[in-house]
Structure 1
Amino acid sequence: MSPLEPIDPLLESPLAHPLMKQRAVASELLNEVQQGNNAVGGMLLANMERSSAEFPFIAYYVINTTQTDPAMFYTGVRGASLSKFEPKNTRYTAAHTLDLYSEVASICRPPLALAPNEIGSVKKGQTPSTGYIISVYKVYEGDDGERFERNWLYWTGARMIYRYLPKTAGLRRITLHKSVSSRGDKMYLLLCECADLLKDLSAAALLIPALRARLCGYTGLYRPIQTF
């Protein structure tokens, strides 16, 4: 979701904290999804570069597909999001980018072995120092062929991250997600989970500008502020 913008900037109080308001509402939504038992895992991520964050918060859910239709889950979350962030109530507007994604590729270090009841949970394995490098890409319809996806390590920057991110960051997993919409442009989401990223952000501070210099997609540093 994009930063909150006041409906009437002239009436905006200098004491207002739209970022805190946005975080509180997003947290409420995550709690509702958790209580609905339609997702096996979820987390709310906060951007650590607040002054220049295009997406200050990202909500990520793993759907329980054994008992929930993904399309219905998407419709429910979309409706709840629009309702909770209704401009008439919040006095702010924001752009919400919601989509369904499927996992198309993944690299793990070390190999992850989870119990059956832990599969899909984003909370398992997380530590207070866990952080994420997230990149978002938009690909024109028809350009997302098999050959294109086979080269995902290069155009996503995953190869650069795997090779040059210092081991002190504790890289655990790099996962590529693709939007499942049948029509229109495709969105790709690259999620890099690092167990010790928050212990020393300088490990990523040098790599992030190099990823952005490729002028391909959006890249940001995130930390989990709420998970289940």
Structure 2
Amino acid sequence: MHTMSKPSFAVQAKFKFYTDEESLAGEWKHAAKCNASQITFLEGILLKTLDHNSPFLYVDYSVFYGGIRTSDNATFQELNTSLPGNNVLRVQNHQYSTDIPPKRVSEPGCYDELECIARNDVSQLPRTPVSKDSVYILSSFRATEQTQNLEKIWKIWSGANYILWKCPKQLNIRRITFLRTTTCTDPFSYLVLCECEEGLNFLNHAKEFSDRLRQRWCGLVGLYKVERYYIPPKERRTI
């Protein structure tokens, strides 16, 4: 695994939590359509719980392009299209012109990605699963305040180090991402999302491991599978 502390692209994500089938049926299609209509939208994933007593039956996870990340002190920069190799952003088999004006969104449910840990063979994008057997472990945290000191040691208090050291090899971790809310109104200040490629093939291992994370009191932990995913309309995807 390696840390993408300075990835080429600045990424934001939007999370919407659904507590029951009724709220999903009434709200999700409209929310997904609104996401896909945004010019900086890249991809979205609807996750369904694998836990019987999870507080959230579904979670919508959508990814947005925020520009080129040039340094830790200048996370969201206006895109310099003259930079070689940075004029096209490829997600799955689709191309997005990086002439798209980068935009940092600050609204409820929207999170800045602060750090990404991934296997050496994994690129920053896309985020849509490469395997139909993928599962996601989502840890959610409430904090009274957000500080740089807290964020510097996030791997310790969030359980990320524990996941890296103790996650069963059979699950085949793909990436772990650390995200911070952009508002003071979200119920969760920080999120940690862990993607495992072989989770459904070793579901008992995945459930046992997520239970061990809960016992460590590392936030509110949920285990999810992919229900479906969505991408922008075709006319906006290609250059």
**TM surpasses 0.5:** yes
Structure 1 stretches lacking a partner, 5+ long: 5-18, 75-97
Aligned pair in 2 of structure 1 residues 200, 149: CA closer, same or farther (>3 Å)?
Answer: same
For 2:116 and 2:123, locate their aligned partners in 1 and report how far apart those are by CA, in whole Å: 14
For 2:110 and 2:31, locate their aligned partners in 1 and report how far apart those are by CA, in whole Å: 17
In the alignment, residue 24 of structure 2 is paired with which amino acid? Q
2:115 equivalent in structure 1: 105
2:36 to 34, 37, 43: 34
Q: Say which one has the larger Rg.
A: 1
Q: Give yes or no for the alignment of 1:139 onto 2:150.
A: no
Q: Percent identity?
A: 24
Query: Scaled by the length of structure 1, what TM-score is found?
Result: 0.69
2:46 equivalent in structure 1: 44
1:173 to 161, 168, 175: 175
Range moving further from structure 2, 60-69 or 203-212: 60-69
Shift in Å at residue 201 of structure 1?
1.1
2:105 equivalent in structure 1: 71
For 1:30 and 1:186, locate their aligned partners in 2 and report how far apart those are by CA, in whole Å: 21
Query: Scaled by the length of structure 2, what TM-score is found?
Result: 0.66
Matched residue count: 181
Query: Secondary structure, in 3 states, of the residue corresponding to 2:31?
Result: helix
Shift in Å at residue 214 of structure 1?
2.2
Judging by fraction of residues, say which structure has more strand.
Answer: 2
1:3 to 15, 19, 25: 19
- RMSD, matched Cα: 2.6
In the alignment, residue 101 of structure 1 is paired with which amino acid? Y
Judging by fraction of residues, say which structure has more helix.
Answer: 1
For 1:213 and 1:110, locate their aligned partners in 2 and report how far apart those are by CA, in whole Å: 30
In the alignment, residue 134 of structure 2 is paired with which amino acid? T
1:206 to 195, 208, 211: 208
Q: Map 1:85-124 onto structure 2 (within 5 A).
A: 98-113=108-123, 119=125, 121-123=126-128
The one-character-per-residue Cα deviations of 1:117-165 (angstroms, maximum 9, x if unpaired) are xx3x322x52110110110001112xx3222222111111111111111
Kept in 2, the 8 Å contact 1:43–1:61? The answer is yes
Aligned pair in 2 of structure 1 residues 166, 38: CA closer, same or farther (>3 Å)?
Answer: same
The one-character-per-residue Cα deviations of 1:83-129 (angstroms, maximum 9, x if unpaired) are xxxxxxxxxxxxxxx42211112211134236xxxx3x322x52110
Kept in 2, the 8 Å contact 1:140–1:186? The answer is no
